[in-house]
Amino acid sequence: MKQVSIKNVGIVGAGIMGPGIAEVFAVHSPSADCSVVVYDAAEDALDKARERLDADFTRFHLAGLLDKNVAEKTRNRIRLVSEPDQLQHAELVIEAVPERIEIKKKVFQELDRLLPAAGILATNSSGLCVSDIAAVTRRPQLCIGTHFVNPPFLMPLVEVVKGRETADATVGLVVDMLTALGKRPVLVKKDVPGYVLNRLQTAVFRELISLLEADVMSVPDLEATVRYGFALRLPVIKVFELVDLMGLDTIQAVFAYLFPTLDGSASPPRLIREMVQRGELGVKSGKGFHDYSQPGVLESLEKRQAAICQIVAMVDRFD
C-alpha cells in the first residue's frame, strides 16, 4: 500500500453525509495525527452533528466495531467549526452540501480562494457533473468527485469521478488515500450524470415502483424477491459472472422479449410524487414505504446496517 501524506482534511456540510465521512477519516486514517475539520455555517446543524457523532461512536463501541478508548480518542480528532477560515490549511476538502449544483459551485468558489494552491477539492455529489462544478475554480485539475455511500462508515464503496480536466495525479492520490482508509474506490472514467452506482440503483428502483403501481406484487413480496433472489448471490458471485452463468445466448433471448415491457418513464413515478406531497419521505420523516415510528423498527434497520462490515469481511475471504 502506498503511503498517503494527507493529514489535514476538511468537510463542508454537517448534514446527512458530512459527519459520516469525517468518521471515516478520523478512525481509518493511517496518519495518527490526521486532523479532521467539519465546517457548517449553521450552528443548529453543528449541534445536531455533534450529537450524532457522540451517538455514533458509542454505537461503534457497543457493536464491537471499536474499542472504547479508540472510540473516544478518534471522536476527539473531529472538530466542528462555524468559520470557513478553519479550513485554510486543508490539503483536501470534501463538500457534502445539499444536492443542488448552484450551492456546490458557490462552495467550490469559496474553497478555491481559501485553500493552498495544491489543495484538492472533492464533491460528494451523488451524480452532478464534476466538470461543471470544477469550472468555477482556477484549479479544475485538482477537482474530483468522491461519492461516498450512506452510511459512509459502514459502506466500503466510494466512486471516484474524473472530471474533464482532473489530472491523473489527482485521481491516483485520491484512490491511494481511499484505499489506505480501507475503502473500495472505483474509478468513473467519464463524468456521466448519476455516475454508475445511482444509475444502477435507479434502474432497479424504477422497475420496483412500476411493478408496485401496477399491483403486480406487494412491497413485502417485492423486497423478498430482491433479497432472496438475485441480491443474495451478488455478494459472492460477481455480476458479470452471473451473466456468464446464465449464458449470453439466454441473456440475449430474455432481452429481446423483456426490454419492450420494462418501465421507461422519463419522470419520477406518480406514487413517489404523491408520497412526497404527503410528507412521507422515509426514515427522515418517520414514514415512507415502511413506518419507522413503530418501536424497534429503526433499531432493527441500524443493526442490519452494522452487519455490513461482517458481510464484507466474509466475502473478502473468497477473493
The pLDDT score that the predictor gives to residue 118 is 95
The pLDDT score that the predictor gives to residue 9 is 96
The pLDDT score that the predictor gives to residue 200 is 96
- Classify domain 8-188 by CATH architecture: 3-Layer(aba) Sandwich (3.40)
What is the homologous superfamily of the domain 198-316 according to CATH?
N-(1-d-carboxylethyl)-l-norvaline Dehydrogenase; domain 2 (1.10.1040.10)
Using DSSP bridges, classify how beta strands 92-95 and 78-81 pair: parallel, antiparallel or unpaired. Answer: unpaired
* Encoded amino acid at 280, one letter: E
The pLDDT score that the predictor gives to residue 154 is 87
Instruction: Name the grid cell of 273.
Output: 410524487
Location of each CATH 3.40.50.720 domain in the chain: 8-188
The pLDDT score that the predictor gives to residue 209 is 98
Low-confidence ranges of the chain (pLDDT < 50): 1
Lateral strand order in the sheet of 92-95: 78-81, 35-39, 8-12, 92-95, 120-123, 143-148, 157-161, 184-188
The pLDDT score that the predictor gives to residue 149 is 96
Residue 171, classed as helix, strand or coil, is: helix
Location of each CATH 1.10.1040.10 domain in the chain: 198-316
